[in-house]
Chains A and B, each alone.
Chain A
Amino acid sequence: MNLVFDLNTIWFFLVGLLLTGYAILDGFDLGIGALHLFTRTDQNRRVMLNAIGPIWDGNEVWLVTGGGALFAAFPEVYATAFSGFYMAFMLLLFSLIFRAVAIDFRSKQPQSWWRKTWDFSFSVSSILASLLIGTALGNIAWGVALNKQHEYAGSFWDILHPYALLVGVFVVVLFMMHGALYGIIKTEGKLQKQLGQLFRKTFILFVIGYVLITIATLLFAKNLTEHFKTSPLLIILPILNVLTIAGAYLLHKRGKDLAAFFSSCATILLLMLIFGMGIYPDMLYSNPNPANTLHIYNAASSQKTLRIMLTIAMVGMPFVIFYTSTIFWIFRGKVKLDSHSY
């Protein structure tokens, strides 16, 4: 493949990086949410909630900024995708709002019906959000029907085809696995043991999903595999990916919780990279009628804007990464509940 390092390509990867940051960071707190109902006592659920308490909010900002960057760098993609997948995005927004509310309000009242209602909302909205994010990725990979004006030409139900749903479920499982590994770092005792079991169960599902998606992609999504055929060197990415997946499991087995979690982070990074390499330079593949595809050139802002945005990103992002890691560092260690907790 010929990867030209022009501004359009750089922004393709920068938007991808922001969304990868989102997947890694909000991925584990969505996963914690998805696992929430599996933990039983009120005390355990509070620990789960407070494991992500100080940081979930900041994690979500990666999505908001990713959306903003997509708007600025590739307005055509932003416009087509968000208006075309209208109901899906509305559902995503509602689940994210519900989730935020559930986290904030759950522990504010002692009654058991109050807490159970919010526990349920928290968990279901986390699962729904993950499912929708995955389904969106699945649709982008598979391609969607676009007309000549690059407007979405399908219906709501077209979004729910088997490949996209498979990716959707896969992302739910991925986040649950990732969240379990995060939870293991933040908890102790029985809860930690239970999260270990949940990790091992979701890991099996994850591997099954991974194999199924690989087969489906090789068989049906020819547009994604082209680069891998022409540049065999790219095979190194899936190989690395298999290593990080195995690494997460083996490191977990040996009790190296933090390393296992980082291996899971690397897994998500590689998955996104493989996905990005697969679709590049397309951003919204038109299926059928590939001529209507939105790619990094016909969907982009002007070169001047891309350059300005690059300056903004170069100035801003190092600070973001610096203080985000500082804040993660400050809140390291096991969860201790106190009067400031959720």
Chain B
Amino acid sequence: MDPLFLSRLQFALTIAFHYLFPPISIGLGLLLVIMEGIYLKTKNELYHQMTRFWVKIFGLVFALGVATGIVMEFQFGTNWSTYSRFVGDVFGSALAAEGIFAFFLESGFLAILLFGWNKVKPRTHFLSTIMVCFGAHFSAVWIIVANSWQQTPAGHHIVNTALGTRAEIVDFWQMLFNPSTLDRLSHALMGAWQAGAFFVISVSAWYLLKGKHIEFAKTGIKIALVLAVFASMMQLVTGHSSAVTVSETQPAKLAAMEAHYDEYAKADLYLFGWVKNKQQKVRFGIKMPGMLSFLVHGDTSKPVKGLNAFPEDERPPVNIVFQAYHIMVAVGMLLILISVLGLILWWRGKLFKIRWLLWVFVFSVLGPQIANQLGWMTAEIGRQPWIVYGLLKTSNAFSPVLSGGQVLTSIIMFGFIYFLLFALFIFLLNQKIQHGPEIEATIEEGHIA
């Protein structure tokens, strides 16, 4: 077996699984700050109950995020040693900063969040919630800085050392705020807020359908819906500006996203389709002529660089990028529709009476998860064949000492453990949701759950 292919498979598997959890932590972290803030302001017991319930869920999600996250920190070294040697000077510092500024903050204060209810004053607890929320957001900042540098390297120069060629930092701030950092960060954070918001909406809607915890659920939906509408609408802005940046910095990726082959012609925007890469055609597609040119340049007739402008070995796989991108956009639109519809019905006073909409809400939790995964697939597969855009190819980046058998063994082990983890996660999540929020009287000191 080819260790390069297997290493790519393993990275894809482990990062995709890991990324199920951090977006929920980030979005739910923000909602916890809002809920606990309202509780401290109003002293309304309902918000206390909500905070307690969602803190427990947060703890579970966070635990899975940590358990799967440790792998990510070390996998650059284990499977991508040539990459690590090449980028360590630049990429490593962002990763280390993530540890110092984000992980310590998150995991430290989470202890107070989960176990400190009876040990610290309410204000201190609230402060800890804010710190955990900050920590979750900071970790997104640093990891996206690191990843954005791979997409649009800046602030570095290439040096030949005794051990080989590598990138070294010239300007830390340019590296930090490389051309795609801010667009991609805002896009990913909004995606995370959506993940948290629709998660709360989904569970709360299920309670309403079952006729349980009515007030708790209604209030939950209201708070989360506001965030869901905001974050979903913001995706139009951040998504658009990400795409414009891609058009400027990674034209091959943009061309693959819309299967735009012609070297230098006006570009269309597809609603959907199936790309035949050999024939350079889109089958079964519906397109809006010139729309991509319009989105990029504000003019439907202006040309956009197509895939044929790049040597064949510098083009990403087209159909998979095309599909991932289009399904992500479609899901994003659906989420806007659902959340805005919810808002309108809330305003009309009908939100909690329409059962089919509540069922839609229950399943809406999948939307941001699917869109987040597909968004990353677009970004990462669209960058191929480069691991660091324009500087280092993925095929040259992996660990030369690895054999296929070693990587296959670890993939099988990861597969087994992650399968188990996922089953346990769903089982415990379900149990916590079935159990529902605790009423104050039952949570006495010394009571063993």
Contacts and interface: CB of A to CB of B under 8 A. Distances in A.
Interface in A47-98: 53-55, 57-58, 60-61, 63-65, 67-69, 71-76, 78-84, 86-87, 89-90, 93-94, 96-98
A69 B69 CA distance: 16
Interface stretch (B76-84, B254-262, B264-272): B76-84
A204 interface: no
> Chain A: interface residue count, which band?
35 or more
Contacts of B69: 64
A214 interface: no
Interface in A291-336: 298, 301-302, 304-305, 308-309, 312-313, 316-317, 320, 323-324, 327, 330-331, 336
A45 to B, nearest CB: 13
A320 B445 contact: no
B280 interface: no
Contacts of A309: 93, 96
Interface string B419-449: 0110010001001000000100011111111
> Chain B: interface residue count, which band?
35 or more
B108 A327 contact: yes
B197 interface: no
Contact of B82 (A67, A79, A308, A323): A79
A309 B446 CA distance: 46
Interface in B148-170: 159, 162-163, 166, 168-170
Contact of B95 (A57, A72, A82): A72
A257 B172 CA distance: 47
B67 A100 contact: yes
A76 B85 contact: yes
A54 B111 contact: yes
A101 interface: yes
Contacts of A226: none
A82 B104 contact: no
A82 B78 contact: yes
Interface string B390-415: 00000000011110001001100100
Given A54-B111, A312-B93, A324-B108, A71 B88 contact: yes
Contacts of B77: 67, 71, 78-79, 81-83, 89
A108 interface: yes
B395 to A, nearest CB: 16
Nearest to B170: A304
A171 B79 CA distance: 27
Interface stretch (B115-123, B220-228, B231-239): B115-123
Contact of A108 (B79, B114, B159, B431): B431
B104 A324 contact: yes
A89 B74 contact: yes
B250 interface: no
A188 interface: no
B191 to A, nearest CB: 24
A305 B402 contact: no
Interface string B112-134: 10111111100000000001000
B89 interface: yes
A320 B106 CA distance: 11
B292 interface: no
Interface string A224-250: 000000000000000000000000000
B337 interface: no
B317 interface: no
A324 B68 CA distance: 23
Contacts of A90: 78, 409-410, 413
B417 A94 contact: yes
B446 A75 contact: no
A339 interface: yes
Nearest to A294: B163
Contacts of A84: 401
- Counting chain B CB atoms within 10 Å of each CB, the highest count among A58, A68, A74 belongs to A68
A94 B89 CA distance: 28
Contacts of B159: 302
A150 interface: yes
Contacts of B68: 97
A338 B89 contact: no
A1 interface: no
B344 interface: no
A71 B82 CA distance: 12
Contact of B63 (A71, A104, A324, A339): A104
Q: Could you tell me the dominant secondary structure of chain A's interface residues?
A: helix
Contacts of A61: 99, 103-104, 107-108
B100 A337 contact: no
B159 to A, nearest CB: 8
Nearest to B118: A338
Nearest to B56: A340
Nearest to A55: B111
B447 A338 contact: yes
Nearest to A154: B401
A152 interface: yes
A86 B402 contact: yes
A57 B111 contact: yes
A105 B427 CA distance: 10
B6 to A, nearest CB: 12
Contacts of A149: 163
B97 interface: yes
A331 B119 contact: yes
A65 B108 contact: no
B81 A105 contact: no
A271 to B, nearest CB: 24
A64 B114 contact: no
Contacts of A58: 104, 107-108, 111
Interface in A165-212: none
Given A55-B111, A80-B81, A336-B446, A69 B99 contact: yes
A64 B108 CA distance: 14
Nearest to A58: B107
Nearest to A74: B88
B446 A316 contact: no
A217 to B, nearest CB: 27
Contacts of B131: 323
A332 B298 CA distance: 62
B126 to A, nearest CB: 15
A55 to B, nearest CB: 6
Contacts of A337: 446, 448
Q: Which 9 residue pairs of A and B lie closest in terms of their CB atoms, listed nearest first?
A: A75-B88, A82-B77, A65-B99, A72-B92, A54-B111, A83-B399, A316-B100, A79-B81, A68-B96
Given A72-B92, A75-B88, A308-B169, 6 more contacts: A65-B100, A72-B88, A89-B77, A304-B169, A308-B172, A339-B447
16 contacts: A60-B70, A61-B104, A71-B95, A78-B77, A78-B92, A79-B81, A83-B81, A89-B77, A90-B78, A100-B67, A104-B60, A301-B92, A301-B93, A313-B100, A338-B118, A338-B447
Interface of A: 53-55, 57-58, 60-61, 63-65, 67-69, 71-76, 78-84, 86-87, 89-90, 93-94, 96-98, 100-101, 104-105, 107-108, 149-152, 298, 301-302, 304-305, 308-309, 312-313, 316-317, 320, 323-324, 327, 330-331, 336-341
